[in-house]
Homo-oligomer: A and B are copies of this chain.
Amino acid sequence: MTVNQLVQQFSRSGSFGAGRLARACDIFEHMIRDRECTVFLSLAGAVVPAGLRRVISDLIRRRLIDALVSTGANMVHDLLEAFGGHHYKGHWAVDDTLLYRYHLARIYDIFVPEEHFVEFDRRVAELFEELASQVRGSILPYELMWEIGKRIDDHDSIIRASYETGIPIFLPALRDSEFAYAYHLHLRRCPQNPLKIDTFREIAVMVDLARRSPRLGMVVLGGGVPRNTTQHVALMADKSIDYAIVITMDRPETGGLSGSTLEETVSWGKVKMRAEKIMVIGDVLIVFPVMVAAVLERLGKDFRREHRIPVRRC
């Protein structure tokens, strides 16, 4: 049985999570096939360390999405691997004091050697130094990703795929990641003339992109700042989202943005009243690969989707 056949069964008779997942596959297919839709994929949670790196870079290379909005950490972990590091499969029930002694950082059931971060800091601080002398004014986070992508040679890398395709990676909370530490090192070395990273100006670029898009699609993995930014950009562009998928384990009753319903976003005007929209309550690492596999199967090998609206600095 293929993954899509299973999802088709969910479509016919499945309720609860299965019904929601089947609906998500339909909506994902619709937003990809809609030639006038700009698709934003929004990442929070440790999806890159947990193994979705190639799935996402493949989506970018096949141009099935038009923009990524991510936490800084996911890009850090993309680079750890591009720099030769690894995410090791560990176990969730281990003694963390032991891991600490052996310099292994744990992300649930993944182990990351501390030395990978040291390597990351060294290399990225050097890059900041190099860019500080080249960049006039300030650099925006998505441009920084392109500069990095230009310098790495890893076909599976999300950042490399972004550079090669021109599909931007927006990073509204870039500072909240290991990039902060590299920047901190950089500041100490070049206190006079450091690289200026302007996260605020990136807003205008995102708003401009949304404004030029006839329709907007959003796929949210997890929630957090990347979800909020994506929804807010639509509003700032005087637009509303036409297709929306959220995959999360968070719940609405605590009032947090991550667990808020897509109906709630309608009251804000962020998502259209008549948008195709669904929230799937489940583990991103299960639900997203199932959805992607089912939709790729539907699209077929020869499907080509051209990325039509390039991002532009403004």
Contacts and interface: CB of A to CB of B under 8 A. Distances in A.
Interface in A57-92: 71, 73, 87, 89, 92
- The DSSP consensus for interface residues of chain A is helix
A224 B71 CA distance: 10
Interface in A243-288: 249-260, 263-264, 266-269, 273, 281-287
A127 interface: no
B224 A14 contact: no
A197 interface: yes
A172 B199 CA distance: 11
Interface stretch (A30-38, A145-153, A157-165, A200-208): A200-208
A176 B269 contact: no
Contacts of A1: 2-3, 293, 296-297
Interface of A: 1-3, 6, 9-10, 13-21, 44-46, 49-51, 71, 73, 87, 89, 92-93, 96-97, 99-100, 104-110, 172-173, 175-178, 180-181, 183-184, 187, 196-204, 207, 222, 224-225, 228-229, 232, 235-236, 249-260, 263-264, 266-269, 273, 281-287, 289-290, 293, 296-297
Contact of A197 (B19, B181, B200): B200
A77 to B, nearest CB: 12
A14 B51 contact: yes
Contact of A204 (B71, B187, B204): B187
Nearest to A15: B50
Contact of A172 (B108, B175, B200): B175
Given A175-B200, A283-B281, A100 B184 contact: no
A225 B222 contact: no
A100 B269 contact: yes
A108 B260 contact: yes
A177 to B, nearest CB: 8
A173 B296 CA distance: 34
Contacts of A105: 267-268
